[in-house]
Amino acid sequence: MTVLLKKTAQYGSYLLIALLASTPALAQDAERPDLQGIWTNASLTKLTRPSGVDSLIVTAEQAQIIAANTPIAGLEGGLDEGDGVNDTPAAAGDDFGTRAYNNFWVDPGSNLALVKGEYRSSYVVEPATGRVPRLETPNYDFERRNFGSRYATGFGDARGPEAIPNAERCLLGFGNKAGPGMMAALYNNTYQFVQTEDYVMILVEMVHDARIIPIFDSPEEARANRRPLILEQWFGDSVGWYEDGQLVVETVNINPLQLSQSSIPITKEGHVIERFSRYSENEIFYQFTVEDSNIYSQPWTAELSFYATDDGLYEYACHEGNYAMPGILAGARRLEMEEQQSGTNN
């Protein structure tokens, strides 16, 4: 990545210009893997193992059977071959939001995650159960009343734009796409990795979320250069270093609003450690470990792979096409007005 600082005469300020194209790859050595390029982690594997599946590693035949029965967009058994998923649902029904999709828009992958030549039934590898070890009573008050069920039912809090989930507001991609703990979702599972001497940038196709990770010579130096806790950034405060042929990234202090709507939440006392390494010419092996005694009974680890792709990153015009926001808010105000008029008439 080429970075230019240009001083503008009109404003007397500095304009930062980042040129990401045509950047030569850094040489790969025993300490530093070459991660540059465009990659995808698309798969039908979920964070936790499906019920009835005991093994982490399954055969190609078993993988096809599990994939065929994996819910997509909340619909059991995946999507129909035709356009049968777009039937008109009942208002506020359990499948209201999931019926909004048809096959044209959905591209989650066609099989389970292939990791180092093995099909995986879950991202979670530790504990061996393939389940996230959440505490029954977390030591944290999650504000999740308007998250998750709203997607499925179309019914939720509409007092104002701040009450609507981050993804619907086009603030962040859904499904923990950018992480920390980067996983595949319903579509837009493409990433661009840009690597310089001092930074690694990960650009996510969905919402064009970008993680800019400063790189240091050691974990001690990285942790000594953390940002103040008052800066609660999206995706948290990530710092990185190279170790035994891996890029190691440690993240703390995730924005509380993101924390409440994440499938991999951590509090300020917890952290996520991600590890990236090149397994082959076209595969990045990716592992992340989550540790937070406020939420989990033990540390847990997940694994998946990114594969090189010839597809580029496509535009994700979220705000530009976000007609749902004004519609939701206008509809809620109309209902309030009608209720007020009804009360006055009575």
Strand partners, 190: 40
Instruction: Confirm whether 299 is domain-assigned.
Output: yes
Which run of H or E residues covers position 67? Answer: helix 60-68
Q: Print the domain residue range for 285.
A: 28-54+130-145+156-326
Q: Spell out the residues 6+ positions from residue 346 whose beta carbon is closer than 8 angstroms to its own.
A: none
Q: How many helices (H) and strands (E) does the chain have?
A: 5, 15
Instruction: Confirm whether 334 is domain-assigned.
Output: no
* Cis-peptide into 165, omega within 30 deg: no
Instruction: Confirm whether 344 is domain-assigned.
Output: no
| Amino acid of residue 196 | T
Query: Against a cut of 0.75, is the pTM above it?
Result: yes
The confidence score (pLDDT) of residue 124 equals: 98
Instruction: Confirm whether 333 is domain-assigned.
Output: no
Q: Which two tokens stand for residue 207?
A: 């919402």
Strand partners, 202: 193, 211
State the Cα–Cα distance between residues 69 and 77, nearest whole angstrom: 4
How many other C-beta atoms are found inside a 10 Å radius of the C-beta of residue 332?
16
State the Cα–Cα distance between residues 50 and 44, nearest whole angstrom: 11
Task: Give the number of domains in the chain.
Answer: 1
Instruction: Confirm whether 77 is domain-assigned.
Output: no
pLDDT along the chain (346 residues), means of 10: 35 38 50 95 96 95 93 62 49 64 77 97 97 89 62 77 86 91 93 97 95 97 95 95 97 90 88 97 98 96 97 85 84 92 81
The confidence score (pLDDT) of residue 270 equals: 93
The confidence score (pLDDT) of residue 151 equals: 66
Instruction: Confirm whether 164 is domain-assigned.
Output: yes
State the Cα–Cα distance between residues 36 and 199, nearest whole angstrom: 12
Instruction: Confirm whether 69 is domain-assigned.
Output: no
Instruction: Confirm whether 306 is domain-assigned.
Output: yes
What is the β-pairing status of strands 124-126 and 300-308? antiparallel
State the Cα–Cα distance between residues 338 and 272, nearest whole angstrom: 48
Strand partners, 240: 215, 249
Which residue bears the tokens 């058994």? 77
